[in-house]
C-alpha cells in the first residue's frame, strides 16, 4: 500500500487529512441526483393522462377529452385524446373574485364565455395558430349563482370544432 492510499499525514497520532475535493464531488453528485429525481417526478405527474370513463363535471381535469358535445351535463365520458372526441377541457376559470358580482346564472355564464373567448383569441391553452374559424372555446361546467355562493368557484373552457365535427389529437397546451 502506498502513502497516497492512506488517510492521514503519515505521522503516528496525527489527525487524518480531509479530502475536500472528494467530499465536494460526492456532495455535488448527491444534490444533482436529488434535483433530477424531483424534476422527473414532477414531469411524470404532470404528463399523466386524465382518467377515462364516466366522470362527473366537478372532477374533469385540464386535458380531458370528452365524447359529448353538450355543455351543461352533470357527467361526461372522458376518452383518450387520440380517439375521436367532441371537445377537450383546456382551461379553468377561477370565479372566486366574482362572488356577488352577478345577479343571474345567465350573466355569470356570459362572463365565463367571454373569458373563454379571450383565451382562444390570445392563443392561451391551445396550440399557436389554432384557427378561430375552425375551433371555439366554450364555457362548460358554469355554476349557478347558488352554487357559486355555496363555494363552487370553478368553470371550465372546452375547445371544440365550430361545425360540430369530431376531433382527434391533443389540443391542450398548459401554460408554463
Burial annotation 30-50 (CB, 10 A radius, 16+ → b, else e) = eeeeeeeeeeeeeeeeeeeeb
* Pair 135, 162: CB distance under 8 Å: yes
Instruction: Check pLDDT > 60 for residue 27.
Output: yes
Q: List, for residues 88-116, the tens digit of each pLDDT value.
A: 999 999 988 765 677 888 989 999 999 99
What are the beta bridge partners of residue 159?
A: 88, 137
Residue 158: name the closest of 176, 136, 130 by CA: 136
58 vs 38, which has greater pLDDT? Answer: 58
* pLDDT reported for residue 48: 63
78 vs 99, which has greater pLDDT? Answer: 78
Q: List, for residues 114-166, the tens digit of each pLDDT value.
A: 999 999 888 899 988 888 888 999 999 899 888 888 888 899 999 999 999 99
* pLDDT reported for residue 44: 47
- In percent, the amount of the chain with pLDDT more than 90 equals 39
Amino acid at each position: 500500500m502506498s502513502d497516497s492510499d492512506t488517510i492521514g499525514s503519515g505521522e503516528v497520532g496525527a489527525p487524518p487529512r480531509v479530502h475536500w475535493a472528494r467530499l465536494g464531488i460526492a456532495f455535488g453528485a448527491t444534490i444533482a441526483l436529488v434535483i433530477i429525481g424531483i424534476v422527473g417526478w414532477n414531469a411524470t405527474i404532470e404528463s399523466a393522462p386524465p382518467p377515462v370513463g364516466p366522470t362527473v363535471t366537478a372532477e374533469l381535469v385540464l386535458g380531458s377529452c370528452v365524447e359529448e358535445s353538450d355543455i351543461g351535463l352533470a357527467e361526461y365520458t372522458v376518452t383518450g385524446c387520440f380517439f375521436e372526441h367532441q371537445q377537450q377541457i383546456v382551461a379553468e376559470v377561477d370565479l372566486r373574485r366574482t362572488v356577488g358580482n352577478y345577479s343571474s346564472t345567465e350573466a355569470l355564464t356570459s362572463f365565463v364565455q367571454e373569458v373563454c373567448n379571450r383565451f382562444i383569441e390570445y392563443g392561451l391553452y391551445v396550440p399557436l395558430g389554432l384557427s378561430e374559424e375552425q375551433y371555439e372555446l366554450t364555457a362548460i361546467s358554469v355554476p349557478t349563482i347558488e352554487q357559486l355562493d355555496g363555494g363552487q368557484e370553478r368553470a371550465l373552457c372546452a375547445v371544440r370544432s365550430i361545425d360540430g365535427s369530431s376531433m382527434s389529437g391533443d389540443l391542450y397546451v398548459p401554460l408554463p
